Amino acid sequence: MSDVCIVGIGIHKFGRTDGLSGLDQGVHAVREALADAGIDWPQVQFAYGSSDAAGNPDTMVDRLGLTGVQFINVRNGCAAGGSALFSAQMAIKSGEFDIGLAVGFDKHPRGAFNALPAEYNLPEWYGEVGQMVTTQFFAAKIMRYMSLFGISQTSLARVAEKAFRNAVHAPHAWRRQLVSLEDILEAPLVSDPYTKYMFCSPAEGGVALILASEKKARELGKPLIRLKAATMRTRPPHSFEVFAPSVDVVADDTKPRPTASRIASADAFRLSGIDPGDIDVAQLQDTEAGAEIMHMAESGFCADGEQEQWLAEGRTEIGGALPVNTDGGCLACGEPIGASGLRQVYENVVQLRGHGGGRQVPGDPRTAYSHVYGAPGVSAVTILER
């Protein structure tokens, strides 16, 4: 079976854009992706769109054209964009279609996400004790992880410092100012051990990707950025997930536990035939600094606890052994839920094309990995190869 290829990419700047709706930003991204692919909207045979708080993506046909295109809406937490991409590549792999669209956008109100227990089949008391407040949940999760594996608060700060430094060179990022390690550590504490610079913020933005069969990509004359794997998985038993915590008491709590991210990543590497050690650039979910650290291990790039040395040695920097979150990730870009997972893939295509400018990974990268994670324990992973 031939590969699915990404032949067009488009993005609307993340952050806050007063006067434009989330749909406006999604339409902007689609038009940019169409131009990048060298096609017109009537050539798009199907679309999958993701949005959490900014309306139904399929309504954008009013702006793009009433062609009768098959357009399916996807809502799957922070993994919504990755789920839209997973669905789009399956549609092409089936042989039913040659070219289609995955698009995601959102426009969240200022302040924290307002998740409700009933939306996740949870009792009201779960919210009443504060566990629907993600800053508190993720703080508890990382405190446990730090205790088990010897991760320091300084490592959390190094993740955030790197994010803001990389974002300086990413035009689509929201927060593009350098923040020193000292300022990150000394900033107001939100939920111990996280200071305010160690969390991402709800945001706005839009991303669109045009996918095509390999045959169609060659007809369009596009460089072949192959989607070697796209997986999406839900949580296994006894994993410790946002809005779905479940931890068994075991004799050795330091042994790797099954998680949605671990199985999605393992399946992606199996499907692609590519090993973690062969990945040249990676985008990992970093809604908070500790998430990037935990997901380094859950994705298979290192063992639990090795992150402390990796970060101290700069191995995840732009010029390191495995550059991670080259555009600043969620920490610098913010998180519009519907678009966030697609932003990661957009950034990986930019890197594989060699168009990263000041954030470009050196050495002519040929493989790229992206990982997104969300409530209540869902994860989507993609692997690209040039």
State yes or no: pLDDT of 171 exceeds 80: yes
Distances, alpha carbon 17 to alpha carbons 21, 25, 30, in Å = 8, 9, 17
CA dihedral angle for residue 268, residue 272, residue 278, residue 284, rounded to 10 degrees: -30
Query: Domain check: are 188 and 89 in the same one?
Result: no
Query: Domain check: are 180 and 154 in the same one?
Result: yes
Q: Which two tokens stand for residue 193?
A: 């051990």
The alpha-carbon radius of gyration of the chain (Å, integer) is 20
Q: Find the DSSP H helices in 11-132.
A: 22-37, 61-64, 80-93, 124-128
Query: Domain check: are 315 and 367 in the same one?
Result: yes
pLDDT band for position 133 (cuts 50, 70, 90):
confident
Which amino acid appears at position 43 of this protein? Q
Question: Which range, 40-44, 244-248, 370-374, has the best average confidence (pLDDT)?
Answer: 40-44
Mean pLDDT of the 294-315 span: 98
Q: Which two tokens stand for residue 189?
A: 């504490």
State yes or no: pLDDT of 363 exceeds 80: yes
Which amino acid appears at position 63 of this protein? R
Mean pLDDT of the 380-384 span: 96
**pLDDT given for residue 101 in this prediction:** 98
Query: Domain check: are 167 and 309 in the same one?
Result: yes
Domain annotation covers residue 31: yes
- If one compares 139 and 257, the residue with the highest pLDDT of the two is 139
How many structural domains is the chain composed of? 2
pTM: 0.95
Q: Which two tokens stand for residue 142?
A: 């990382």
Query: Domain check: are 20 and 54 in the same one?
Result: yes
Query: Domain check: are 345 and 359 in the same one?
Result: yes
Query: Domain check: are 212 and 359 in the same one?
Result: no
The per-residue pLDDT for range 28-73, each reduced to its tens digit, is: 999 999 999 999 999 999 999 999 888 899 999 999 999 999 999 9
The per-residue pLDDT for range 153-169, each reduced to its tens digit, is: 999 999 999 999 999 99
Per the structure, the complete domain to which residue 360 belongs is given by 132-200+229-380
